[in-house]
């Protein structure tokens, strides 16, 4: 039970439907779709489309999408990989011959073929009830008629002002006289409204063929990109088998590689080898979480890639032997030596959406353009803001995640779903770029080791060890309480650029036939049920 004399949020409670997103307009849209008879996936896509408009720095139709779905409250979890591939001409030798040693954020080579729209259309057709035109109508109206800037969106724009100034279209749409809009300012995206209308009428062909595709390819080619109309026309996601592991008797499901969900499972398997008790924010408990994360992320950067073209040892990564070996390397008194695989990384923006409907269909849904405002590049006539997901590739011959033709990069965005005794129990996700795998494990540990409710677990302060280093980002409350203790054990403690991540979750209380929702104070959103 939370202390009602202290700042905080209560869990949202409903019986007939629940939605949790990082923007109030998106949550409201999801609830309205559910009330109109839509299913969970209809509401999730409708909410996501709204966020592509009102929270454009976090997500967009120029990005990628993953989803975990469960029907009628069962534990038969379906996964969809809606991440895009590189152009067919993106051969490794081309980059080497042209002196490209790394993929920069605003390079056209950071733009893989966006997979989100294909995923939306496929998932709605297979698992939804409403037409795409109905689902996208709220987002179209907001893009055309205007929407007010919320506080977190204003902060995100302020941090990306220099990036937005570089492209004439992003400069025109997201800035006012080249300055950051204030909270309450109104923005419009008329070109994006037209593109969403085309998708509503034509489905995937409204995006991957015709004028919108022409506009995207022309813009990317003008910057030196290798993209072709055929690359867009052939874009396709796929249903994939989830990976899973048990933690304290609960089964945790994640999308398989090329996503990093497998890393969340690795962290949990390491944590399960320790007795977790006392204060969830105690220095020993967090030391173990940090070390488990550092070890699992080192494995991620060595092995996680596109399984269609690289040999990813999934069984080995989820093996008890590896978990035993990694757990044995953790010394509670000092930081372990972990060889750096990649350079330090920054947190990124994403939207995670959780929806459960009256029939207990579950949609754990995530959509991203990677870094805030992605690549900062926009197709001018269609209003499509491109992601920079290809920046996750390495230009290193022989590496599993080396760039190559028709290849998907290692992905940070991961939806989560927990089942037990044949039923879906929890739909959850933690946004925040590279943080997400640790965020999943950190959140679930607070539920299943320390018996916190979903909102209390989300509210706790966070920390994140930057992969390949002994540097730990810590939010202010933790720096004040245990920062010095961790430094004494060999870590370097620093402040994050801003609050770490953002989470949403819905707990399905089968005993009472109710739904409990939670949303992160680090974003603008909320959970609502009815």
Question: Residue holding tokens 């008329």?
Answer: 190
- Say if residue 285 is in the same domain as residue 370: no
- Say if residue 182 is in the same domain as residue 244: no
- Say if residue 113 is in the same domain as residue 214: yes
How many CB atoms sit inside 10 A of residue 264's CB?
A: 29
Contact 348, 436 (CB under 8 A): no
- Say if residue 157 is in the same domain as residue 33: yes
The count of domains in the chain is 2
CA distance 446 to 76: 25
- Taking Cα atoms as reference points, which of 43, 45, 24 lies closest to residue 34? 43
CA distance 148 to 146: 7
Specify the pairing of strand 492-494 against strand 471-474. parallel
Report pLDDT for 343.
37
- Say if residue 176 is in the same domain as residue 38: yes
Residue 12 lies in a domain: no
E-assigned strand segments in 249-344: 250-254
Complete DSSP assignment for 168-231? HHHHHHH-BTTBPPPTT-EE--HHHHHHHHHHHHHTTHHHHSHHHHHHHHHHHHHTT----HHH
CA distance 32 to 492: 47
Question: Residue holding tokens 């730990």?
Answer: 472
**CATH number for 272:** 1.10.246.130
Residue 410 lies in a domain: no
Report pLDDT for 341.
40
- Say if residue 138 is in the same domain as residue 262: no
Tens of pLDDT, residue by residue, the chain (530 residues): 677 888 889 999 999 999 999 999 999 999 999 999 999 999 999 999 999 999 999 999 999 999 999 999 999 999 999 999 999 999 999 999 999 999 999 999 999 999 999 999 999 999 999 999 999 999 999 999 999 999 999 999 999 999 999 999 999 999 999 999 999 999 999 999 999 999 999 999 999 999 999 999 999 999 999 999 999 999 999 999 999 999 999 999 999 999 999 999 999 999 999 999 999 999 999 999 999 999 999 989 888 888 888 889 999 999 999 999 999 999 999 998 876 443 334 455 689 999 999 999 999 999 999 999 999 999 999 999 999 999 999 999 999 999 999 999 999 999 999 999 999 999 999 998 899 999 999 999 999 999 999 999 999 999 999 988 999 999 999 999 999 999 999 999 999 988 999 999 999 999 999 999 999 999 999 999 99
Residue 17 lies in a domain: no
Give the per-residue SS3 of 211-224.
HHHHHHHHHHHHCC
Report pLDDT for 349.
66
- Say if residue 50 is in the same domain as residue 196: yes
- Say if residue 265 is in the same domain as residue 377: no
Q: Which contacts (CB < 8 Å, 24+ apart) does range 253-256 have?
A: 253/68, 253/77, 253/79, 253/416, 253/417, 253/418, 253/419, 254/68, 254/414, 254/415, 254/416, 254/440, 255/66, 255/68, 255/79, 255/80, 255/81, 255/414, 255/415, 256/79, 256/81, 256/307, 256/314
In which element (H, E) is residue 21 found?
Answer: strand 18-21
Q: What residues make up the domain containing 273?
A: 240-347+417-520
Residue 337 lies in a domain: yes
Question: Residue holding tokens 């930057």?
Answer: 466
- Say if residue 343 is in the same domain as residue 354: no
Residue 248 lies in a domain: yes
Residue 71 lies in a domain: yes
Complete DSSP assignment for 413-453? ---EEEEETTEEEEEEEEESGGGHHHHHHHHHHHHHTT---
CA distance 245 to 480: 35
CA distance 71 to 420: 15
- Say if residue 51 is in the same domain as residue 190: yes
Contact 326, 295 (CB under 8 A): yes
- Say if residue 366 is in the same domain as residue 467: no
Report pLDDT for 339.
60
- Say if residue 221 is in the same domain as residue 288: no
CA distance 73 to 107: 43
Residue 434 lies in a domain: yes
Residue 409 lies in a domain: no
E-assigned strand segments in 215-312: 238-240, 243-247, 250-254
């Amino acid at each position: 039970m939370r202390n009602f004399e202290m700042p905080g949020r209560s869990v949202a409670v409903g019986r007939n439907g629940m939605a949790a997103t990082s923007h109030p307009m998106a949550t409201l849209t999801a609830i309205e779709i559910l009330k109109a008879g839509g299913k969970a996936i209809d509401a999730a896509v409708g909410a996501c489309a709204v966020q592509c408009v009102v929270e454009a720095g976090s997500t967009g139709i120029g990005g990628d999408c993953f989803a975990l779905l469960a029907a009628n409250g069962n534990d038969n979890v379906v996964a969809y990989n809606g991440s895009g591939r590189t152009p067919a001409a993106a051969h490794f030798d081309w980059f080497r011959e042209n002196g490209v040693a790394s993929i920069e954020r605003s390079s056209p080579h950071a733009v893989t073929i966006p997979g989100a729209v294909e995923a939306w259309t496929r998932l709605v057709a297979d698992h939804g009830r409403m037409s795409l035109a109905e689902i996208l109508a709220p987002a179209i109206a907001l893009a055309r008629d205007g929407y007010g800037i919320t506080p977190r969106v204003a902060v995100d724009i302020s941090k990306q002002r220099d990036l937005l100034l570089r492209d004439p279209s992003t400069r025109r749409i997201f800035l006012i006289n080249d300055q950051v809009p204030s909270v309450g300012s109104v923005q419009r995206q008329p070109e994006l409204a037209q593109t969403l209308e085309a998708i509503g009428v034509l489905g995937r062909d409204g995006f991957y063929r015709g004028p919108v595709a022409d506009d995207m390819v022309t813009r990317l080619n003008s910057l030196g990109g290798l993209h072709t109309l055929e690359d867009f026309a052939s874009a396709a996601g796929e249903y994939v088998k989830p990976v899973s592991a048990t933690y304290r008797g609960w089964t945790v499901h994640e999308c398989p590689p090329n996503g990093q969900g497998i890393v969340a499972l690795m962290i949990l398997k390491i944590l399960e080898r320790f007795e977790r008790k006392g204060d969830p924010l105690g220095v020993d408990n967090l030391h173990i979480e940090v070390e488990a994360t550092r070890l699992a992320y080192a494995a991620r950067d060595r092995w996680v890639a596109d399984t269609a073209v690289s040999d990813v040892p999934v069984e080995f990564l989820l093996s008890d032997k590896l978990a035993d070996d990694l757990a044995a390397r953790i010394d509670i008194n000092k930081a372990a030596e972990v060889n750096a695989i990649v350079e330090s990384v920054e947190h990124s923006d994403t939207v995670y959406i959780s929806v459960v409907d009256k029939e207990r269909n579950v949609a754990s849904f995530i959509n991203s353009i990677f870094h805030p405002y992605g690549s900062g590049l926009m197709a001018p006539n269609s209003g499509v803001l491109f992601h920079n997901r290809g920046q996750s590739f390495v230009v290193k011959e022989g590496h599993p995640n080396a760039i190559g033709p028709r290849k998907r990069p290692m992905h940070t965005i991961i939806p989560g779903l927990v089942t037990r005794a044949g039923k879906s129990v929890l739909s959850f996700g933690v946004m925040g770029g590279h943080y997400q795998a640790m965020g999943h494990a950190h959140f679930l540990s607070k539920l299943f080791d320390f018996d916190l409710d979903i909102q209390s677990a989300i509210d706790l302060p966070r920390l994140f060890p930057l992969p390949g280093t002994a540097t730990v980002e810590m939010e202010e409350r933790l720096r004040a309480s245990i920062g010095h203790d961790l430094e004494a054990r060999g870590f370097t403690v620093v402040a994050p650029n801003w609050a770490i991540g953002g989470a949403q979750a819905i707990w399905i209380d089968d005993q009472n036939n109710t739904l409990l929702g939670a949303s992160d104070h680090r974003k603008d959103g909320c959970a609502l049920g009815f």
